[in-house]
Structure 1
Amino acid sequence: MTPSTALIVLLSTVLGHAVRILLSPSSGSAVSPVVTFTPNWKKIFIGESMTMTCDVGSTGGGDLTYTWIKDGKWVIHTGRTFTITSAAPEFSGDYSCRAELFVKPTIIGIQYPEVEGDHMTLTCDTSLSPLRPRTQLQFAFYRDGRKVQEFGSPNQYGVQSAQLEDSGSYSCDVRTSDGKVRNSSHFLPIVIKELFSTPVLNVSATEVLEDDSMTLTCDTSLSPLRTGTQLQFAFYRDGRNVQEFGSSHQYGVQSAQLGDSGSYSCEVRSSNGKVRKSSHFTPIVIKGKSRTDNTPIIMAALLVSLLVAAFLLFMYRHKLHRCPHQRRGRQPQIPPTHIPLIHRAAMFQFCVIAPQNRIPKLLRLIYMIWRILEAQATSLVVLGSVVVTSRSSGMETFYV
């Protein structure tokens, strides 16, 4: 019988029930145990005691890890020996004994991270059997069932600057160099918290006009676990740096121009540069200042024009003012100064500039309205002045 072959020993019968001891080495183990039992009787009866021993053929076997399994379903005892003090029918069954080459590994957090940027070191802890002290073991590490470090001789897995994505359930596997013996650890949950929140870029005004001042603020908050951490801030426009990293969390433009429009963002980092986070892009459009809106003035001028036109039409139809030079042979005269300015201008247009016998009535009315508006504009510019018009040789001259 070779050491790697399972040994089945028929001990005896207990009230007609077969009692067998099944000895098998652990999966691929280099250590092949042998079962011995005391007393070495062929028959065991109800009430008698029996001790089974998992022997590896060496006095150093006591340093191994032993496992006893009944009917291949559950572990009933751990240790080199297993004793039945009072035999009973329910103890009948198939018993197996395994001697482990190395103990079940345990994953331990040597340097346990709390927040982003912390160093993390995990150790896969196990111990070899003194019978095989020179056995080469290999270690692998997993996060959420995915391998993060391939099998190798180091029994540690380290992350220099832990990030949020490094959170998860970690475990490790240990195997011999030939891969025949392999065992896994339990799971170790690791949760890494934020050092600071994702920054948010805020603008001082919802609408920025040309030549206005503009202030951008990069807002974030530190973890209460690291309140003393120094943060640095940088600002970007269209991906180009406009303010280098510094302690100020604001970027200001004293007089915004159209060229300052663009997509702005900010970046925050720890003083050692291990943790960096960027904000979302914020589009900012600098609007040009609108020129003086002449709409009210134009509307007022049109309204005045309509009123003047209505007034002149009323004057024309009812002949409220007679031209003083209608008698044949008299020269045109300038309206007297005691007549109000607007009436004077109307009389001047009727009597001097556009006599009825020279310009058709419709054209004369249009021309008259335009001249009155011109006279009104002049009177607005020079308040209190008197406009005197004379006509000589077909030329018009204005005196103030």
Structure 2
Amino acid sequence: MYLELFMLFLVSVTQAQGLESKPVVAFIPNWSPIFSGENIRLTCAYTERTSAVPTYTWYKDGEEIQHKRLENSLLIKFAETTHDGQYQCTLGFTAGLSDPVRLHVINGQLGQVILQAPPYIHEGDDLKLRCHHYYGYSANLTIFYKDDTVIRDWGPEAVLSFENVSHEISGRYKCIKEVLYNSQYNQHIGEASISVKELFTVPEVSVSPFPVLEGDALTLHCTTSHGLSGQFKYLLYAFYNDRKEIRQFNDFDHYYGQADQLEDFKNISCEVKGGRVRKRSKVLNIEINKDFTEPVIKPELPLMIEGDKMTLTCNTRSIPGTEQDLQFAFFKDVQNVQNLSLSKQYTVSHAEVKDSGNYFCEVEMSTRNLTKRSKKFYVPIRGQNSEQKNLAYELIMMRHVLSGCILIFTILFIFYHIKFIKSLEVVNEYSTAL
């Protein structure tokens, strides 16, 4: 029953996502080991649709043991220890050879107990462990252990069940069962090592191109590895930012975005879902590097009058090594006054009142098709009337006075610095003499 459900699940997911590249061997009943004298059927499941008429070939330990058309099962009746081994199957056309599955046959003895489990256990499976005694005898109570710790005390049920298993289930299991023979119940032990295989690894989220630059058309990738060697391919992917979903689950392991749209995306992660198993990646902090900062236009002189040389500079900071890719243009009001060029300065040799206005600049990185514009800056040019001339004269005088003060301060600083050094030399000579 449980094997059939598993196989139906396997078929449905592989048909939905992509088709199997090779068949899968399964047991009915889904137990191993078995006692000698018991029956078991091996099935060769292949989910890919094909118009070819399959001929199933079975191998034991690498040697062909059965070759039948349309017969996908291998029946072992009254098993013997010689049936113990690795079994594989193929369909005889494009399908590959299945992974080997071990059938373990034990020569049963009086009162013997074995702990049976499915030949392979994957994340998300419903697992059943069976404490099985040699046929022909009555049994009573059973107790189960994991790593020498009781997980189910004495009871009449000889099957221990787990739902939606994960790696935490893996470990060493043991059962003790009371078997009736010689007119009394005797305790016997069965043991098994349980290992849960991964459907897929914990995903990793990455971004390309890297590093991310402003304006990039970027792609988020969610990468995981399948753990079932082709037995399980149907995976869904979702992406998150600060735990908020930015793309729901679908079968694409990537997500496209624009860097300037992801300014607020700082903590990116992805999640992968397969069957009942879900795994989420660690968080990736995306830093969007700006090729260059928003430009700022600035005049060389804070106040200008007619006849002054007017120089406006378009200042921006760029990633080292990209300066040569930048070009600058200047605008007055809405008119372009200097076309794109490598010069970050706009100069008017003899400014006039009509040169007053709102100036702004644009910076373009042609290699990345990226343009940024500065804020507007009003530049006034004062006329040369008598009042303005007086003001201009005062401004010129202020400039000279300020320059003079700076010069005097510099001379005094040098003078006292030299005097201080000489005084230190005198003190050193006096100390040496003592």
Range class of TM-score, shorter chain: 0.3 to 0.5
- Judging by fraction of residues, say which structure has more strand: 2
TM (normalized to structure 1)? Answer: 0.47
What TM-score, normalized by structure 2, do the two folds share?
0.44
Flag the structure with larger Rg.
1
